[in-house]
Structure 1
């Protein structure tokens, strides 16, 4: 069976290009990146209504810390009751604590600057955490995956080569989504190459 959880089938849609989704495993609530509306929506379990609540952004497109700019990938961090958001057009990863009115910077620029250095990002598509709080970012515009130790803003490239898209075994092209398994092997949706790559933990 199929159930409508978010948005609508007919009439005025609530969502506009939804692109990311994450789950709060403690409550069952889901969070959706409503990308073209520059906001994150919450849908409460047991999803009795397909109308959600804005929990992040919703203040127009922009780079200040109350706004989002084409948010895409999402990750719910249960240890801090917050959302990590790949804030794509702002070239950063931000943390939005549920109930707060603004984000704090996790990685990348806080004023919309993109770049190829270890502290900058370019159109990040996804973000995930491991059990130690380390952060992994699909840095789409740089065709790489960046690894940030917990609490650090200086990243290390662990997959791909910075600003070098390609199709051989060590290169990526516009990576868009990330998953870790229990052994911390990394799976990358290598969108530009029409494939999924596995990178084993060193």
Structure 2
């Protein structure tokens, strides 16, 4: 029955309390779980990344140095790397989860071809076969694929120039992105109130059209 399933708080305060101590979160926008059940949280308003081990009653700060409104978060199980969309700084940071944790900017301000194509990156997805990040580039209204080995990028969907719109080759403030089992790109096209699917690969010049798989393009709560 819809509405009958109850959840359990696994990180933060069950009563919704906010704060900065180890038992609290404030406006978290991203979460990912590693194979051991450890929970990594982009604690957005607190400008930090928190690790909540499985069954823990408080978190441990992975990093809070220099972050500005982190949102999206992704995990690479092969190399034990965490990727965080440092949204306010227009970059993505990689954290190698060694002891100590090693951080590096891997997308954005270190672009091989300036200027920086990232503008408020939010949702991110790590694609292991290509060792790349798929990035919902919110304020540029497009989806970027960033190749980690070569520090280069492609625009997979939306307009490379950042133009917004409602046509099926345009996006408006996309905030989430993932790949399905067929490597189609699934985008939360937030400003257009829809979920849109694009085929992976060419063209990358802004002409690629998607198809709507959820939503109508108008805000609402109908089934």
Q: 2:178 touches 2:187 (CA, 8 Å); kept in 1?
A: yes
Q: So what's the TM-score if we normalise by structure 2?
A: 0.78
State the match for 1:19 in structure 2: 29
Q: Check if 1:28 corresponds to 2:32.
A: no
Distance apart, 1:82 and its partner CA: 1.6
Q: So what's the TM-score if we normalise by structure 1?
A: 0.85
In structure 2, what is the Cα distance between the partners aligned to 1:3 and 1:127?
Answer: 25
The verdict on how the C-alpha distance between 1:131 and 1:12 changes in structure 2, with shifts beyond 3 A counting, is closer
Structure 1 alignment gaps of length 5 or more: 58-65
Rg larger in structure: 2
In structure 1, what is the Cα distance between the partners aligned to 2:170 and 2:91?
Answer: 22
Q: 1:107 touches 1:120 (CA, 8 Å); kept in 2?
A: no
SS at match of 1:192: helix
Distance apart, 1:120 and its partner CA: 2.8
State the match for 1:69 in structure 2: 68
State the match for 1:104 in structure 2: 104
SS at match of 1:155: strand
In structure 2, what is the Cα distance between the partners aligned to 1:152 and 1:128?
Answer: 18
Distance apart, 1:138 and its partner CA: 0.7
Q: 1:119 touches 1:153 (CA, 8 Å); kept in 2?
A: no
The total of aligned residue pairs comes to 187
Q: 2:74 touches 2:84 (CA, 8 Å); kept in 1?
A: yes
Cα RMSD after superposing both structures: 2.0
Distance apart, 1:128 and its partner CA: 1.0
State the match for 2:46 in structure 1: 37
Q: Check if 1:6 corresponds to 2:11.
A: yes
SS at match of 1:18: coil
